């Protein structure tokens, strides 16, 4: 494979891992090589969207070890997502075991250290009972597929423009915004395409009630750095808690920065010297400008990420690739 030019796309791998929940028990993990599996045409996941998923990465460190980054936190987040839509998620231990097995059986697809690429894992939970009436499934399939990936955006850690999409809501205040359910992402497709059609690679959502506060980007959490170097990220009932964001906040604290998770009004954008979109896929995407109708806020230079975002990005990547000490025990050996 051309490891340095993978992009963020699906590449076939050797195997995936599957568990079934039937009659109140989880089965032993199975290694599956056929990329297709049978599902009933009336499965609740297909009829009513009873499905949630996670995203995390495995890395090859500079010592040639294979490691997962904070898989226990993904397991806990899946449990919260599953609870919101009446599903049974695998226990943390089973979740992590399946992730380890997925890496082990696809080790040849783990990108080598130094390429900047990683192995992306997609743990998924679906309701499989056939039904036409609206009711939660009692049977579930949990599976973990993997694929090697490069940067989420083709230019990698490089500033992009964002567009505020006030006329689209990603999730309702008391809805499923804090859960990583499939329907949230289907709802985000149209605003994302709308922004891209106008020349903006990324869309920014405001709060779904008054559209006066920042919620999150279409693919990731919002973070802003003020003139003092403090780290700010929104607090809202309709955004997904990001494990990457949580990790970056801890790193910011380790660097001696103040960290604030709070409601952030859209008119506060002028107080930030740097803005980023953070998530598993891209880690941090620097945002050069944010446009809302006729108003434009700019942050730093259009050709180079700001100093603080660069420090945070390198620090987190340094831990993930084993270049810096894992002082918070985030890495799990495969």
Q: Which residues are within 8 A (CB) of 326 and not within 5 positions of it... i.e. 6 or more apart? A: 319
- The stretch 239-267 carries a mean pLDDT of 97
Q: What percentage of the chain's residues is helix, strand, coil (to nearest 5)?
A: 25, 30, 45
Q: Is 306 found in the same domain as 165?
A: yes
Distance CA 121, CA 97 (A): 13
Q: Is residue 87 part of a domain?
A: yes
Q: What pLDDT is stored for residue 219 in this prediction?
A: 85
Using the 3D structure, point to which of 116, 149, 182 is the last residue of a domain: 149
Q: Is residue 229 part of a domain?
A: yes
Q: Is 126 found in the same domain as 12?
A: yes
Q: Is residue 222 part of a domain?
A: yes
The neighbouring-strand residues paired with 297 are 290
The more confidently predicted of residues 8 and 110 is 110
Q: Is 294 found in the same domain as 182?
A: yes
pLDDT above 80: residue 108:
yes
Q: Is 119 found in the same domain as 170?
A: no
Q: Which two tokens stand for residue 204?
A: 């920014």
Using the 3D structure, point to which of 97, 128, 149 is the last residue of a domain: 149
pLDDT, one tens digit per residue, over 321-334 is: 999 999 999 999 99
| Catalytic sites, residue numbers | 180
- The stretch 101-107 carries a mean pLDDT of 98
Q: How many CB atoms lie within 10 A of CB 64?
A: 9
- What's the pLDDT band for 151 if we cut at 50, 70, 90? confident
Cα dihedral angle (79, 83, 86, 88), rounded to 10 degrees?
Answer: 30
Q: Is 87 found in the same domain as 30?
A: yes
Q: What are phi and psi of 29, to 5 degrees?
A: -55, 140
Query: What range defines the domain where residue 221 resides?
Result: 160-320
Q: What pLDDT is stored for residue 245 in this prediction?
A: 98
pLDDT above 90: residue 152:
no
Q: Is 185 found in the same domain as 144?
A: no
- The stretch 190-197 carries a mean pLDDT of 97
Q: Is 198 found in the same domain as 88?
A: no
Q: Which two tokens stand for residue 318?
A: 């340094």
Cα dihedral angle (179, 244, 189, 177), rounded to 10 degrees?
Answer: 20
Determine the Cα angle at 253 with ends 252 and 256, to 5°: 95
Q: What are phi and psi of 183, to 5 degrees?
A: -60, -30
Q: Is residue 22 part of a domain?
A: yes
Distance CA 298, CA 200 (A): 14
> pTM of the entire structure?
0.96
Q: Is 298 found in the same domain as 238?
A: yes
pLDDT above 80: residue 153:
no
Q: Is 110 found in the same domain as 175?
A: no
- Report in angstroms the alpha-carbon separations of 154 from 31, 198, 201: 32, 18, 11
pLDDT > 70 in the chain, percent? 99
Q: What pLDDT is stored for residue 303 in this prediction?
A: 83
Q: Is 225 found in the same domain as 115?
A: no
* Nearest of 183, 248, 169 to residue 216 by alpha carbon: 169
pLDDT above 90: residue 4:
no
Identify the CATH number of the domain in which residue 271 sits.
3.20.10.10
Identify the CATH number of the domain in which residue 19 sits.
3.30.470.10
pLDDT, one tens digit per residue, over 156-176 is: 789 999 999 999 998 888 999
pLDDT, one tens digit per residue, over 272-326 is: 999 999 999 989 999 999 999 999 999 988 889 999 999 999 999 999 999 999 9
Q: Is 175 found in the same domain as 145?
A: no
The more confidently predicted of residues 271 and 150 is 271
Q: What pLDDT is stored for residue 156 in this prediction?
A: 76
Q: Is 316 found in the same domain as 211?
A: yes
End-to-end C-alpha distance for the chain, whole angstroms? 22
Distance CA 246, CA 260 (A): 11
- What's the pLDDT band for 51 if we cut at 50, 70, 90? very high
Chain-wide mean pLDDT for the chain?
96
Q: Is residue 217 part of a domain?
A: yes
Q: Is residue 327 part of a domain?
A: no
What total of structural domains would you count in the chain? Answer: 2
């Amino acid at each position: 494979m051309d490891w340095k030019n993978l992009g963020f796309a699906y590449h076939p791998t050797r195997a995936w891992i599957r568990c079934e929940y039937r009659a109140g028990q989880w089965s032993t993990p199975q290694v599956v090589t056929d990329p297709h599996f049978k599902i009933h045409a009336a499965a609740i996941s297909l009829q009513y969207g009873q499905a949630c998923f996670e995203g995390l990465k495995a890395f090859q460190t500079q010592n040639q070890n294979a490691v997962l980054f904070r898989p226990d936190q993904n397991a806990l987040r899946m449990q919260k997502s599953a609870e919101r839509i009446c599903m049974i998620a695998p226990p943390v231990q089973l979740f992590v075991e399946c992730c380890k097995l997925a890496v082990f059986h696809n080790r040849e697809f783990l990108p080598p250290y130094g390429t900047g690429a990683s192995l992306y894992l997609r743990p998924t939970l679906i309701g499989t009972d056939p039904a036409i009436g609206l009711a939660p499934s009692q049977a579930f399939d949990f599976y973990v597929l993997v694929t090697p990936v490069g940067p989420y955006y083709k230019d990698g850690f490089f500033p992009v423009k964002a567009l505020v999409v006030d006329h689209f809501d990603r999730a309702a205040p008391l809805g499923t915004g804090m859960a990583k359910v499939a329907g949230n992402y289907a709802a985000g497709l149209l605003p994302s395409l709308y922004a891209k059609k106008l020349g903006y690679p990324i869309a920014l959502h405001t709060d779904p009630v008054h559209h006066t506060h920042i919620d999150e980007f279409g693919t990731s959490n919002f973070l802003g750095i003020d003139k003092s170097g403090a780290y700010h990220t929104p607090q809202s009932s309709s955004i997904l808690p990001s494990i990457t964001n949580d990790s970056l906040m801890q790193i910011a604290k380790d660097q001696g920065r103040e960290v604030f998770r709070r409601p952030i009004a859209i008119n506060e954008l002028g107080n930030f010297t740097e803005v980023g979109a953070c998530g598993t896929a891209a880690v941090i995407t620097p945002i050069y400008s944010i446009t809302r109708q006729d108003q434009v806020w700019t942050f730093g230079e259009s050709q180079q990420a700001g100093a603080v975002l660069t420090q945070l990005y390198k620090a987190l990547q340094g831990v993930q690739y084993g270049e810096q000490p894992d002082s918070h025990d985030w890495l799990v050996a495969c």
